[in-house]
Amino acid sequence: MSETKPKLAFYWAASCGGCEITITELGMRLVATSKKVDIVFWPCLMDFKYSDVEALEDDEIDVCFFNGAIRSSENEHVANLLRQKSKLLVSFGSCAHTGGIPGLANFYDAESILERVYDTAPSVDESRGTRPTPSFEVPEGIIEIPTFYDQVMTLDQTVEVDYFMPGCPPVADQVWNVFQTILAGELPDKGATIGVDPKTNCDVCPREKGEGGFRVTEWKRPHEVDLDPDLCFLAQGVICCGPATRAGCGLPCISGNMPCRGCYGPPEGVFDQGAKLLSAIGALIDTEEPELVAQIMDTIVDPGGLSYRFGLANSVMAELKYRQRSQESDT
């Protein structure tokens, strides 16, 4: 009987644990599902070692849900290992899909991050110039820790991925839908983005657009405005990533009176979510005075972090940066 149960694996690379929580949010549905499947690897909830995975046959895992970005040699090693052992590899959650929050590290490089952490952060009393040492000799032998990479990568940039499931985290109902689809053997063609709706959040958002329209002379941050729960955020001068973000989350942020942060990634056909958002925001500018343009742009604090909050690692922007780097190191 147990031979016929599909084997599942879950893994977290550079991630926060939110993707695991969304699965536990399934509650009794998870308990019911767990009787129909064999979980062969899930470091967050169950006691497994990498050697358990190494001991599996190739393709022995039916479906692996991989969350987290690739930012260390350990992440990369396990991504390769799980790819080898899995029939289907699902890029689960924003970090694996588009880099997510860890991907924002691509605005910097490894050394400047380590310098901040070990030398200049306010919590550092006295800098000792400490740095993680990937390999260190002690009397008992050699201790090795993973190498911290210069670039945060998506799972798809590291190994071949069969399906993409965006979200920070993917909402429980969509996870449930995807489980059902898998168990029913009704997955779409490989390469598809699953657990999502076809259009963007504006398509399903119930908020009114407002009478006055929403050309903007000043962008405000959510905490600076007493937000009307029924009015489009853009009409209130607050940037919402909804117009450039794929629908499917069920709008938990927007229902909570917070603008969309963009975690479900770009809709079909869009190469670069952040660039599209910048284009839409720029289109709303309301001035005829050229000197005011910069002033209005200044009201957008951290345009990069805002427009690429979840998608930086997967962006054309990052591609340019790391291509330039590799060309520089070639010459």
Residues making contact with another protein (CB under 8 A)? 106-107, 199-203, 209, 213-215, 232, 234, 242-244, 247, 267, 269-272, 274-285, 287-290, 293-294, 296-297, 300, 302-305, 307-308, 316-321, 324, 327-328, 331
Residue 56 CA to residue 82 CA, distance in Å, equals 10
Q: 69 or 89: whose CB is closer to another protein? A: 69
Q: 90 or 312: whose CB is closer to another protein? A: 312
Q: 122 or 206: whose CB is closer to another protein? A: 206
Q: Check residue 107 and report its DSSP letter.
A: G
Helix (H, G, I), strand (E, B) or coil at 3: helix
Q: 159 or 239: whose CB is closer to another protein? A: 239
Residue 101 in tokens: 């929050």
- Residue whose structure tokens are 């499947």: 37
Give the residue from 71, 154, 152, 149 showing the smallest Cα distance to 110. Answer: 149
Residues in CB range of 34: below 8 A, 6 or more apart: none
Stated as kind and residue range, the H or E segment containing 294 is helix 290-298
Closest approach, Cβ 316 to another protein, in A, equals: 4
Q: 15 or 273: whose CB is closer to another protein? A: 273
Closest approach, Cβ 244 to another protein, in A, equals: 4
Please, how many CA atoms are within 13 Å of residue 300, restricted to the half-sphere of its CB? 21
Distances (CA, A) of 239 to 151, 222, 246, 284, 315: 28, 8, 16, 11, 20
Closest approach, Cβ 295 to another protein, in A, equals: 11
Residue 50 in tokens: 């990498």
Stated as kind and residue range, the H or E segment containing 82 is helix 73-85
Closest approach, Cβ 218 to another protein, in A, equals: 13
Closest approach, Cβ 302 to another protein, in A, equals: 8
Q: 36 or 199: whose CB is closer to another protein? A: 199
Closest approach, Cβ 72 to another protein, in A, equals: 21
Beta bridge partners, 293, equal: none
Closest approach, Cβ 315 to another protein, in A, equals: 8
Q: 53 or 317: whose CB is closer to another protein? A: 317
Beta bridge partners, 90, equal: 65, 163
Residue 316 in tokens: 């054309």
